[in-house]
A = this chain, B = another copy of it.
Amino acid sequence: MPISGFPEWMPPQRMIEQRVIERIRTTFELYGYAPLETRSVEPLDTLLMKGETSKEVYVLRRLQADDNAKDDDQLGLHFDLTVPFARFVGENAGKLQFPFRRYQIQKVWRGERPQEGRYREFLQADIDVVNRGELPFHYDCEMPLVIGDALGGLPVPRVRIQVNNRKVCEGFYRGLGLEDTAQVLRTVDKLDKIGPARVAEVLIETVGATRAQADACLELAAISAEDGSFVDAVRKLGVEDPLLDEGLGELLRVVETAREHAPGLVTAELKIARGLDYYTGTVYETLLEGYERFGSVGSGGRYDNLATSGNERFPGVGYSIGVSRMLGVLFGQNALNISRSVPTCVLVALPNEEQRPACDRIAGALRKRGIPTEVAPTAAKFGKQIQYADRRGIPYVWFPGEPDTVKDIRSGDQVEADAAAWEPPAGDLRPVIAG
């Protein structure tokens, strides 16, 4: 029986997912990110460092654990890849070269309540850069370019990255006279869920904002621009604060860099806050054009205080693509298809069981040149063997003979062929994905 929150895809969807992962990984490596994989479990206290996610942890227990063996009681499955990465960096700081750039593509788990219908197991693809001491800001500018490049090469809808900077918000709230900036941020983060009127009410109730202060927060959150014009829009609100200035300068650099290298990719969107406590500057969200209503399919940000080792600090910036989430949305809308359900390009027909060794040799010759090939399961009538290929979308059936022939079962064209030389058109070699 299916288990709620633990999706399983059929092979065609899995082939699409693999192609997506392959593109993401290749892109990450083109930018010099090194691969890393951390264990799936962390000590519970590492996972609970950030209180708000504690309810989402799955704890492990050995079925046959001795009553007095407490070791495993303290292990939980990781709920993201940033916390394990920060732990890894702190633990291995002496062995790593800084700045350390790594990518990590792994499953994560969240023990959500089943009735919420959310994924409880899903795949994330992360990049992060951390440095010892200080991390140059240009890495904040690089993140969206890498993500845009990775997803831009796929048959998925166009990606739009929304960027903000917590310093802008916190500086603005502080300059406005609101002290509990974290609470203001958390409230504004609910804007899309509860609407501006309710946000204003909550601000007035919980942080003691005046109506004018609440309105100013909403005006800030309403600012959105694809270029540097957001700076003037903020200035017009008349709030002054050094942290605000710093944040505006940083956000401007991200937007301007993206405009130069990837026009149309990035928007400054001042309502973006990101729920996680550990972000300290730039924050990112990712939307798919035409699928905005399904929410963000990737996010990240700058964290200056997550990774530590003794007295040392390892500030970082990272971005996480929600691979399962993105594909779940697109599969659900039938927006991604693949041309066959197996990798096989050629089925070698089997005239009779005695010829199996000869057919295996033909298959071997084709495979040696990179052409995925199967031999028919039984020496059934050729019509049935062609049906085997057809049902799986295998485009070619190979008939051993004097000479051999190969048939394109879509067009019916059949030509003489030599297993040591024949090649399919490039477009038929691998299954084709279409958006």
Q: Which residue of B lies closest to A430 (CB)?
A: B29
- Chain A at the B interface: SS class: mixed
Interface size on A (CB < 8 Å)?
Answer: 86
Residue A372 lies at the interface, judged by CB distance under 8 Å to chain B? yes
- In the complex, are the beta carbons of B39 and A8 less than 8 A apart? yes
- A383 to B60: give the CA distance in the assembly, Å: 50
CA distance A95 to B2 in the complex (A): 14
Contact A61:B61 (CB < 8 A) given known A101-B342, A356-B138, A364-B261: yes
The answer to whether the Cβ of A404 comes within 8 Å of any Cβ in the partner chain is: no
B341 with A34: CB separation less than 8 A: yes
A39-96 contacts to B, CB under 8 A, are 39-41, 43-44, 54-65, 69, 71-72, 75-77, 88, 91-92, 95
Q: Which residues of B contact A56 (CB under 8 A)?
A: 63-64
Q: Mark A107-120, 1 if CB is under 8 A from B, else 0.
A: 10101011000000
- B6 close to A372 (CB less than 8 A): no
A341 in contact with B97 given A15-B34, A32-B373, A35-B15 (CB within 8 Å): yes
Contacting residues, chain B, for A31 (C-beta < 8 A): 367, 372-374
Tell me whether A39 and B121 are in contact (CB under 8 A): yes
Query: Closest approach, in angstroms, between the C-beta of A8 and any C-beta of chain B?
Result: 6
Interfacial residues of chain A within 323-374, with CB under 8 A of chain B in the complex: 341-344, 356-357, 360-361, 364, 367, 370-374
Since A11-B34, A57-B63 are in contact, a sample of 18 more A-B pairs with Cβ atoms closer than 8 Å, ordered by chain A residue number, is A3-B41, A3-B43, A14-B37, A29-B372, A30-B370, A30-B371, A30-B373, A31-B367, A32-B373, A56-B64, A58-B62, A59-B61, A60-B61, A97-B341, A107-B107, A136-B378, A260-B357, A261-B361
A111/B72 in contact, CB under 8 A:
yes
